[in-house]
Amino acid sequence: MADLHFLQEETNKNFGDWIQRSEIANDELTLEVDRHFLRNLCFMLRDKPKYAFQTLIDVCGVDYLQYGCSEWQTESTTRTGFGRGMKGDFSEVASQWTKPRFAVVYHLLSLENNHRIRLRAFVDDEQPALDSVVDIWPAANWFEREAFDLFGILFKGHPDLRRILTDYGFIGHPFRKDFPLIGNIEVRYDAKLKRVVYEPVSIEPRILEPKVIRHDNRYTGEKSGD
């Protein structure tokens, strides 16, 4: 943990104008970075020997829509049954989230210094976009395509930004929180037409299992009793 605190002090001292917030939680240092300076920081973290983050482990998108809200109160619903899943309005409490809806998270590893660090940059809600880091870490190529495909986040300067997991012609971004779990289109084979037919889904949207917000001491930092 001492190394993490030293790394936090060093990054805040050298890149304080680019970092909006830094914290250590669950034995990991997270830097919240102004998106306009993300590439500058990435270059520094990769090239300066005292950081030497030459390995990109992962890039992923995050959607904070209705962050911290449950579909319903789990304990009371467990006693009364899950019939409420048939109703259309599943939000009980308005989200208290005040930051932008979308963020991109980068996990970096320094094999030389045995350090890990996480960068998080928020992007605009209406047109989520961020500069690509493919030229810094080539491994970002497919990661950024995945974030584009699933969350609709654009990466400016990416050499081949196209979908990677969904089908050709897929509409929407399935990891966005407002994307219906049953999707928008269903596919079936029509024996008369002798071809595959795409149609709007005929299933009524409903929630069969609630989203549970667990107050788990592994994530809250609290120590459990003996």
pLDDT in tens, 176-222: 988 887 777 788 898 999 998 888 887 776 665 556 666 656 555 55
Classify residue 32: in a domain, yes or no. yes
Does this model's pTM top 0.85?
no
- Crossing angle between the packed helical segments 2-15 and 38-47, to the nearest 10 degrees: 130
Residues with Cβ < 8 Å from 220, sequence gap 6 or more?
Answer: none
**Are 38 and 131 within one domain?**
yes
Which residues does residue 200 pair with via DSSP β-bridges, in sequence order?
185
**Are 147 and 201 within one domain?**
no
Classify residue 225: in a domain, yes or no. no
Quickly state the pLDDT bin for 171 (edges 50, 70, 90).
confident
Classify residue 174: in a domain, yes or no. no
**Are 135 and 189 within one domain?**
no
Q: Which two tokens stand for residue 220?
A: 């809250």
**Are 2 and 14 within one domain?**
yes
Counted domains in the chain: 2
Residues with Cβ < 8 Å from 75, sequence gap 6 or more?
Answer: none
Q: Look at residues 28, 26, 29 and name the one whose alpha carbon lies nearest to residue 12.
A: 29
Instruction: Give the phi and the psi of residue 5 in degrees, each rounded to 5.
Output: -65, -40
**Are 92 and 105 within one domain?**
no
197: containing domain: 68-97+180-216
**Are 127 and 185 within one domain?**
no
- Say if residue 226's pLDDT is above 50: no
**Are 9 and 80 within one domain?**
no
**Are 56 and 92 within one domain?**
no
**Are 51 and 133 within one domain?**
yes
